């Protein structure tokens, strides 16, 4: 039980509050105006019950200098403290109903979400389902651990599987003498690789014979133009030389376009018999030009111009062919490749010189036919001798090629790809039946069996919890609806149950209002608008109470209720007190925080009606300097008394000698007498009449009016009013008050009330 609230510092308005001098009892009621720190105190209890220090950190005094520090005293003087940002221990016996309970377990902003339903289920199940929930958690964790173990073993096995699936790896058949078979296949692969290398080795290639078109050469050498004067070239050259100009021949060529054949284009003389003009015609004739072009091309003939490079290329190709053929000498016996380079060089050189001499003659006189039949035969003979050297060597190459191809066709080439597949199969089989894989597969089998068992245990634990939840929630629903009915609510809950969707089980329930289902989600009619704030608070209070009333361990619990009447309709006050009385009788301690002093007074009276000796502590959160809050004893009677009773008490206390504020006492005389007369003549005196008007009505009354019986007081009342009235008018602050005089009028006012006479 909470015995004392020794100290609270740095939390909201409780910046430096102390209640160590006040002992808390089994029933402890704490009164506070709204905004005075009542909810803050409830949050302190909630933080202690859950050991959630964040609830306090967010409520640190905004303008305070004190760090958060709390000192609470429980049974046998045991102290629980909050220092350096944490509680010294958790007190799970504290059960707190406050705004946080509503927002965490029921609804927030009028909406019910998944977290609300999950938290409500945990609260509803209470201690009865702790073991079952722990069983589900333990078996779920065990199943998760076994599954993680399986994953880890599979990862280690994947390093041995060499690309196979786990099923394929496990299914490999045992092979006897696997290492010997691996050695045999490796030798076959080595041999197959040698064959493959020989197969891909290059073979010699024949040398391409150089080509020379002697027919074209000699046909050009023998070309002439029938209508060309034989001396035209010489005549034109001599005439161009006499003109001594670099552009003379061009100038003559251009003039030829204007020549008509009979007269000179320059002087119009008859030129039909002029030899020089005839030479011009021949020299600049298109056929002649074409002839010169062909003759000039003979000079660039490949053999004539590049004979040495041809000889070098042919020789190099024969060296390459000989080297390539020699690379096969270990496998193939063939004749050597012999190329007579010297003879070829002599024959080609003689051919080049002979053709060059003929071309030179043709270039000097393009119109002269050059080259006789015997010249052509000589050139052909020289070319055949040169080509013959090449063909002789090529025949050796062809012979070598045939020998090599014959050898290659005799090779028995193994399928290297298939050999490698076979080797991989043998090697992975060796690994499969090696000690590492055997151990891992055994571990995997054991882990899979353990996982199956854990899954089975989890299902059984979940079924057990589910059955327990269904039983508890069914009874929980009945209790809630019974409470709602007694609270006068017009709605009920239905179909209360639980499911395991998501990471944790959560409650499921529906609401029914006026025969219609009220949705907890976004459809209509909706929880947020169909229920009043009082209904929502009543539902939350019913959820809280329903889990406690039959709790077998309630006698060990401290129940804290923050503002049970907040948002509740007035017609639910009586049953709320009845519920709290029941909790008081069963709980270890009941702490009620409220801003309604009348509710606390009535609850106190209800408890005392049952047991006159019940111990009840009445505290209040009082305003102190700097608008902070402190803890003090509370006089509930004073808080709840009417204005008349309060004024009567002030006058009685002053009359008995109590030292009170004289001005306060003086200003209480008239209101006290007004209250007395209104109570003596209820419904007769208008409520809006001042004291002087009331005296006037009494003085004017006849025997037909009940006021007539107070006529004996008129003079006394007027005299008292004359004295007391001066403290209610302008300038009252300047009126001097003497205690003895005031006491006389106070005694006279009380005498009117007590005796009904002056």
Please determine, for residue 710, whether its predicted confidence score (pLDDT) is greater than 50. yes
Whether residue 266 lies inside any domain: the answer is yes
630 shares its domain with 491: yes
pLDDT tens digits, 148-203: 999 999 999 899 888 889 999 889 899 998 899 888 888 777 756 777 677 778 88
Looking at the structure, do residues 341 and 208 belong to the same domain, yes or no?
Answer: yes
Return the CA Rg of the chain: 64
Per-residue confidence (pLDDT) for residue 333, from 0 to 100: 81
Domain assignment present for residue 419? The answer is: no
Domain range spanning residue 212? 202-224+290-411
417 assigned to some structural domain: no
Cβ proximity of 508 and 499 under 8 Å:
yes
Instruction: Let me know if 466 is exposed, middle or buried by CB neighbors in 10 A (0-12, 13-18, 19+).
Output: middle
Answer whether residue 356 is part of any domain: yes
List, in sequence order, the alpha helices (H) in 52-129: 54-57, 99-105, 114-125
Residue range 617-676, pLDDT digits in tens: 999 999 898 889 999 998 888 777 778 888 888 898 898 888 888 999 999 999 989 988
Q: Which of 636, 669, 699 is the last residue of a domain?
A: 636
Q: Within this chain, do residues 742 and 616 fall inside the same structural domain, yes or no? A: no
Across all residues in the chain, what is the average pLDDT? 82
In a domain, 444, yes or no: no
Residue 228: predicted pLDDT: 46
Residues 239, 359: one domain?
A: no
- Does position 229 have pLDDT exceeding 50, yes or no? no
Spatial contact of 605 and 8, defined as CB atoms under 8 Å apart: no
In a domain, 603, yes or no: yes
Residues 588 and 678 in one domain: no
Is 154 within the bounds of a domain?
no
The count of domains in the chain is 4
Residues 651 and 719 in one domain: yes
Which contacts (CB < 8 Å, 24+ apart) does range 172-180 have? 172/428, 172/429, 172/432, 172/433, 173/429, 174/429, 174/433, 175/426, 175/429, 175/430, 178/426, 178/429, 178/430, 178/433, 179/430
- 295-323 residue pLDDT tens: 777 766 655 555 678 888 888 888 998 89
Confidence of residue 258 (pLDDT cuts 50, 70, 90): low
Q: What is the pLDDT of residues 493-526, one digit of tens each?
A: 777 776 666 556 666 676 777 777 766 666 666 5
* Domain endpoint, select from 261, 284, 307: 284
Share of the chain residues as helix, strand and coil, in percent rounded to the nearest 5: 60, 10, 30
**CA–CA distance from 334 to each of 130, 337, 645, 757 (Å)?**
97, 9, 143, 163
Give the pLDDT score at 552: 83
* In a shared domain, residues 663 and 627: no
Pairing of strands 516-518, 506-513: antiparallel
Is 596 within a domain? yes
- Cβ(546)–Cβ(483) under 8 Å? yes
Q: What is the pLDDT of residue 628?
A: 93
């Amino acid at each position: 039980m909470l015995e004392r609230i020794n100290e609270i510092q740095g939390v909201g308005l409780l910046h430096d509050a102390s209640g160590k001098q006040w002992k808390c009892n089994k029933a402890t009621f704490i009164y506070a105006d709204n905004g005075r720190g009542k909810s803050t105190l409830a949050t302190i209890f909630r933080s202690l019950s859950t050991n959630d220090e964040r609830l306090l950190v967010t409520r640190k005094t905004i303008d305070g200098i004190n760090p958060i520090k709390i000192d609470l005293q429980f049974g046998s003087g045991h102290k629980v403290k909050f220092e350096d940002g944490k509680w010294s221990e958790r007190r799970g016996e504290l059960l707190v109903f406050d705004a946080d309970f509503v927002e965490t377990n029921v609804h927030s902003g009028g909406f019910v979400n998944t977290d609300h339903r999950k938290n409500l289920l945990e609260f509803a199940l209470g201690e009865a389902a702790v073991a079952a929930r722990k069983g589900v958690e333990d078996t779920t964790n065990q199943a998760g651990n076994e599954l993680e173990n399986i994953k880890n073993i599979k990862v280690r096995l994947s390093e041995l599987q060499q690309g196979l699936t786990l099923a394929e790896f496990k299914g490999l058949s045992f092979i006897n003498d696997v290492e010997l078979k691996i050695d045999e296949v490796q030798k076959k692969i080595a041999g197959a690789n040698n064959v493959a290398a020989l197969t891909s080795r290059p073979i010699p290639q024949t040398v391409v014979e150089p080509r020379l078109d002697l027919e074209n050469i000699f046909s050009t050498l023998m070309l002439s133009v029938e209508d060309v004067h034989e001396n035209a070239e010489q005549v034109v050259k001599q005439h161009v030389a006499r003109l001594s100009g670099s552009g003379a021949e061009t100038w003559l060529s251009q003039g030829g376009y204007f020549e008509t054949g009979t007269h000179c284009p320059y002087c119009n003389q008859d030129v039909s018999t002029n030899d020089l003009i005839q030479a011009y015609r021949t020299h600049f004739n298109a056929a002649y030009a074409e002839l010169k072009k062909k003759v000039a091309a003979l000079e660039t003939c490949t053999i004539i111009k590049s004979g040495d490079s041809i000889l070098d290329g042919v020789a190099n190709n024969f060296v390459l062919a000989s080297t390539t053929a020699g690379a096969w000498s270990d496998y193939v016996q063939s004749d050597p490749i012999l190329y007579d380079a010297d003879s070829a060089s002599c024959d080609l050189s003689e051919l080049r010189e002979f053709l060059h001499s003929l071309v030179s003659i043709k270039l000097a006189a393009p119109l002269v036919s050059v080259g006789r039949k015997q010249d052509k035969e000589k050139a052909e003979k020289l070319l055949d001798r040169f080509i013959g050297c090449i063909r002789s060597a090529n025949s050796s190459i062809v012979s070598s090629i045939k020998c090599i191809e014959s050898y290659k066709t005799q090779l028995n080439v193994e399928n290297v790809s298939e050999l490698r597949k076979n080797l991989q199969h043998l090697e992975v089989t060796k690994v499969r039946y090696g000690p590492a894989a055997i151990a891992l597969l055994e571990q995997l089998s054991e882990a899979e069996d353990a996982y199956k068992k854990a899954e089975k245990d989890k299902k059984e634990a979940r079924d057990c919890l589910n059955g327990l939840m269904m039983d508890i929630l069914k009874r929980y629903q009945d209790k809630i609806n019974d409470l709602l009915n007694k609270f006068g609510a017009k709605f009920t809950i239905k179909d209360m149950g639980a499911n395991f969707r998501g990471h944790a089980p959560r409650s499921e329930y529906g609401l029914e209002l006026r025969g219609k289902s009220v949705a907890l989600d976004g459809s209509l009619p909706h929880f947020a608008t169909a229920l009043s704030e009082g209904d929502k608070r009543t539902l939350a209070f019913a959820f809280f109470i329903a889990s406690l009333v039959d709790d077998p361990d309630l006698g060990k619990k401290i129940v804290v209720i923050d503002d049970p009447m907040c948002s509740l309709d007035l017609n639910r006050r009586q049953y709320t007190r009845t519920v709290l009385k029941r909790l008081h009788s069963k709980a270890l301690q009941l702490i009620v925080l409220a801003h309604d002093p009348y509710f606390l007074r009535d609850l106190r009276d209800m408890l005392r009606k049952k047991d006159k000796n019940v111990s009840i502590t009445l505290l209040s959160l009082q305003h102190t300097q700097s608008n902070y809050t402190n803890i003090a004893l509370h006089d509930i009677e004073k808080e709840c008394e009417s204005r008349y009773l309060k004024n009567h008490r002030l006058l009685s206390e002053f009359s008995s000698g109590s030292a009170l504020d004289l001005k306060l006492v003086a200003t209480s005389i008239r209101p006290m007498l007004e209250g007395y007369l209104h109570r003596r003549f209820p419904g007769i005196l208008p409520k809006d009449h001042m004291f002087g008007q009331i005296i006037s009505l009494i003085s004017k009354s006849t025997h037909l009016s009940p006021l007539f019986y107070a006529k004996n007081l008129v003079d006394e009342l007027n005299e008292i009013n004359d004295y007391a009235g001066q403290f209610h008018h302008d300038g009252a602050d300047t009126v001097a008050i003497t205690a003895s005089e005031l006491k006389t009028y106070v005694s006279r006012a009380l005498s009117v009330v007590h005796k009904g006479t002056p």
